[in-house]
Structure formats: structure tokens, C-alpha cells
């Protein structure tokens, strides 16, 4: 199936099934309900075959170009059927499993993630380890042929719903830095794991603290090599800045279109609107090229930091425009549509913080793309 056939088929299928896929709206919709809806969308699109395209057959996919994955998320976000932040976790975690897990483990687990039967989370950040990922200290020590994990993670998105976790642990000496890290695939129902959700400023339990108290992880749940976890993380991060950003871009475009068509659109300043649309056009063009590089089998790397900075800048510019044109909604509204603008505006403030802060991206660009040598 080529992209054009996929696009035509999917568009027709979505037209037909739209009523089943519309998410619950309103200010009283809980994250529980949103997660349930997401699982449903993933299940329906998986069972109809759309979600399986672009993924290898050995993990339950139907093969073909990764552009189909990019288009599926784009189509769902453009129709306002998903929130891309929680939808696109798949784009970050599944490629890592395919690349680094035992083939049998990947074959068993990845279909569950794609079909929405399971939710996974990504255990990277720690209280003392934000931007400086190589300094993490959550400890994994050998326990026979298994690992025993003790320590803490934080800012772990969806941990309260997660069935599994891609976890980075310290297996080398405390000073081993990026050389002494091992990645494990952990069942979240293992004894010794405690999850505490953290309420974010926009009113959602966006992320969690996760505590590990002597949690036993079987030896065959290793991802990559012992002390080779840095490679896993470095491989994963560019994925965090490719297809998932394309999905987010489609979502922003849909929201901007909504703003333009709404009564608040009358209050838009033409110059400000023009500038935001130009930014969004540049991001779209850049991210589109990235999707083609990925589909062509290129290994993504530091250059995706450009995509991330462009997206974060665009996202905040879009919602700055919202805050100006729909000021009363953002400040006062309690109706679902108005409150949604506020929630999204508040969430947009995090765009330059999560997924590698704007500063970390600029560090990567300076070091790896401009070749300015080490930062001292």
C-alpha cells in the first residue's frame, strides 16, 4: 500500500467512523476518560489495519513506509480526535523496543502498545537529573539472573496508567556517567513500585513521581547491552523530535484554523497572525522533510533539535495569539470551549521545557551541528 492509497482509504474510513471516534469534550472530562478514549481510537484503528501500517511485521505491523504513521496521527489530530501528546508516546517508545529488545519480547509487547491494550511510560528524568541525563542515579544491581532496582523517577508522563516502563538505571559506579547506564523494560505492577501523580498548572495530572523500592526485573528485560543504556536513550530522543512533532504540528494547525473561524478571530491582529502562520509554515516544511528522511531509512540525530526548537517556538506563538485574541476566554471562561483555550494556553508554556528544554536543544545544536566544540 502506498501513501496515496493509505491516505484515501483512511480518510474514507474516518469519514465513516468519525461518530465512534469523537472524544468526550468539556471542562469536566477527566484524564481517565481521555485515556479510555485514546485506547479506543488505537484499538479501532489497529483492528481496521491503519495503525499497523508503517510498523514491521515482526511486531504485529503490516510493513510499509513510516510516512503512513505520520499521516495517521496527522489525520486524527486534524479532525480533533486525539490529543497528540498522549497519542504519540507510541512513536517514541515502540521504535526503541523494536531496536533494542529481544525479538521475542518486542513481538510480544509492541502490538499491545499499538492496539491501545497497554499504556507505557518513559522513566528517564530524576529529581537531580533533568537536563543532565547522564547523571542519573536510580540504581539497578544484579540479583542472580535478575536486576533489583531502587531509586526515584520524576516527570514520568502517564505513569499512573502505565503497564510498562522503559527505565534508565545506574549499573556502573556513581561516577560512570553516561557509560554506566542500563535500560530495562519494567512491568509497572511489579511489587515495590509506587506512583504519585503530580497535578500540573493547567489542571491535569500530567506526570508522576515513580518510586522503586527493591523492584525485581528479570534479566531478559534488558534493552540493549549492560551499561549500554546511553545508546538506547540517544536512539530514542530523536524519535521524540520527529513523527510526534509532526502530529503536534497538525494539531496546532487545526487549533489555529479553529481560532481563525471563531468569533475571537475578529480580534486577531493581522501582523501578528501573519507572523505566526509564517512560523507554522516553516515548521511544517522542516518537519515534513524530516518525515521523508526517516521514511528513507536515514538515522535521525542532532538535526531534529532544530525541529524541536521550531515547534516549541511555534506552539507558544500560536497560544500567545490565542491569549491576545481570546483574552476573555483565557482569563474568565468556564464554558468548555473557552476553558479549553485556557488549558491549552497554559500547557503551551511547557513546550520549551519538556522533551529536552529549549536550552538543551540549543546546546546540542551548538555542539553537534555548529561544531563549536565542548561547552565548558
244 binds another protein (CB under 8 A): no
Q: Determine how β-strand 120-123 pairs with β-strand 222-223.
A: unpaired
Find the binder of another protein among 289, 327, 328, 332 (CB under 8 A).
Answer: 289
Backbone conformation region of residue 99, classed left if phi is above 0, alpha if psi is from -120 to 50, else beta: alpha
CB atoms within 10 A of CB 60: 20
Minimum CB–partner distance for residue 288 and another protein (Å) = 6
DSSP states of 73-96: HHHHHHTT-S-HHHHTHHHHHHHH
Q: Give CA–CA dist 374/170, Å, rounded.
A: 24
CB atoms within 10 A of CB 372: 11
Whether residue 244 contacts residue 83, with contact meaning beta carbons closer than 8 Å, is answered with no
301 binds another protein (CB under 8 A): no
Find the binder of another protein among 286, 324, 343, 354 (CB under 8 A).
Answer: 286
Find the binder of another protein among 173, 263, 271, 334 (CB under 8 A).
Answer: 271
C-beta of 42 vs 284, nearer to another protein: 284
Find the binder of another protein among 67, 162, 223, 351 (CB under 8 A).
Answer: 67
Find the binder of another protein among 156, 264, 291, 316 (CB under 8 A).
Answer: 291
Q: Which stretch binds another protein (CB under 8 A): 9-17, 181-189, 194-202, 287-295?
A: 287-295
The DSSP 8-state label assigned to residue 14 in this structure reads H
Q: Which stretch binds another protein (CB under 8 A): 11-19, 168-176, 231-239, 307-315?
A: 307-315
C-beta of 62 vs 273, nearer to another protein: 273
C-beta of 285 vs 328, nearer to another protein: 285
93 binds another protein (CB under 8 A): no
Q: Which stretch binds another protein (CB under 8 A): 25-33, 147-155, 288-296, 337-345?
A: 288-296
DSSP states of 318-357: HHHHHHHHTHHHHHH--SHHHHHHHHHHHHHGGGGTSSS-
275 binds another protein (CB under 8 A): yes
50 binds another protein (CB under 8 A): no
> In which residue are the cell numbers 524530516 written?
290
Residue 113 phi, psi (nearest 5): -70, -45
CA angle 153, 37, 236 (to 5 degrees): 40
63 binds another protein (CB under 8 A): no
C-beta of 136 vs 295, nearer to another protein: 295
To the nearest 10 degrees (0 to 180), the angle between helices 103-114 and 31-47 is 110
C-beta of 82 vs 184, nearer to another protein: 82
C-beta of 27 vs 313, nearer to another protein: 313
261 binds another protein (CB under 8 A): yes
Q: Determine how β-strand 193-198 pairs with β-strand 181-187.
A: unpaired
Beta-ladder partners of 164? 120, 187
Residue 194 phi, psi (nearest 5): -120, 135
Sites of contact with another protein (CB under 8 A) = 3, 7, 67, 70-71, 74, 253, 256-257, 260-261, 265, 268-275, 277-286, 288-289, 291, 303, 306, 309-310, 313, 359, 361-363, 365-367, 369-370, 372-376
Amino acid at each position: 500500500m502506498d501513501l496515496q492509497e493509505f491516505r484515501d482509504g483512511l480518510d474514507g474510513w474516518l469519514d465513516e467512523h468519525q461518530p465512534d471516534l469523537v472524544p468526550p469534550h468539556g471542562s469536566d472530562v477527566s484524564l481517565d476518560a481521555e485515556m479510555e478514549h485514546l485506547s479506543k481510537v488505537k484499538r479501532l484503528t489497529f483492528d481496521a489495519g491503519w495503525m499497523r501500517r508503517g510498523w514491521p511485521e515482526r511486531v504485529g505491523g503490516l510493513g510499509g513506509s513510516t510516512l503512513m504513521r505520520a499521516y495517521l496521527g496527522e489525520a486524527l489530530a486534524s479532525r480533533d480526535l486525539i490529543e497528540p501528546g498522549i497519542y504519540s508516546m507510541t512513536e517514541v517508545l515502540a521504535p526503541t523496543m523494536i531496536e533494542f529488545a529481544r525479538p521475542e519480547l518486542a513481538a510480544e509487547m509492541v502490538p499491545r502498545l499499538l492496539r491501545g491494550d497497554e499504556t507505557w511510560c518513559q522513566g528517564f528524568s530524576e529529581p537531580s537529573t533533568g537536563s543532565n541525563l547522564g547523571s542519573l542515579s536510580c540504581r539497578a544491581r544484579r540479583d542472580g539472573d535478575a536486576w533489583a532496582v531502587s531509586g526515584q523517577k520524576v516527570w514520568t508522563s502517564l505513569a499512573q496508567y502505565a503497564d510498562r516502563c522503559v527505565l534508565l538505571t545506574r549499573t556502573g559506579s556513581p561516577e560512570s556517567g553516561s557509560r554506566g547506564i542500563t535500560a530495562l523494560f519494567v512491568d509497572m505492577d511489579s511489587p515495590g513500585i509506587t506512583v504519585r501523580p503530580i497535578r500540573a498548572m493547567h489542571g491535569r495530572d500530567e506526570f508522576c513521581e515513580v518510586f522503586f523500592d527493591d523492584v525485581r526485573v528479570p534479566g531478559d528485560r534488558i534493552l540493549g547491552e549492560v551499561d549500554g543504556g546511553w545508546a538506547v536513550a540517544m536512539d530514542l530522543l530523536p524519535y521524540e523530535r520527529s513523527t510526534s512533532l509532526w502530529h503536534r504540528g497538525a494539531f496546532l494547525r487545526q487549533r489555529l484554523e479553529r481560532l481563525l473561524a471563531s468569533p475571537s478571530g475578529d480580534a486577531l491582529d493581522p501582523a501578528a497572525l501573519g507572523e505566526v502562520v509564517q512560523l507554522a509554515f516553516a515548521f511544517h516544511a522542516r518537519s515534513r522533510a524530516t518525515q521523508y528522511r526517516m521514511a528513507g531509512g536515514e538515522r535521525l540525530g542532532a538535526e531534529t533539535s532544530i525541529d524541536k526548537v521550531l515547534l516549541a517556538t511555534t506552539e507558544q506563538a500560536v497560544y500567545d495569539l490565542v491569549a491576545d485574541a481570546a483574552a476573555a476566554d483565557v482569563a474568565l471562561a468556564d464554558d468548555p470551549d473557552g476553558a479549553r483555550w485556557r488549558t491549552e494556553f497554559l500547557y503551551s508554556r511547557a513546550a520549551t521545557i519538556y522533551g529536552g528544554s529549549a536550552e538543551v536543544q540549543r546546546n546540542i545544536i551548538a555542539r553537534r551541528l555548529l561544531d563549536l566544540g565542548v561547552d565548558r
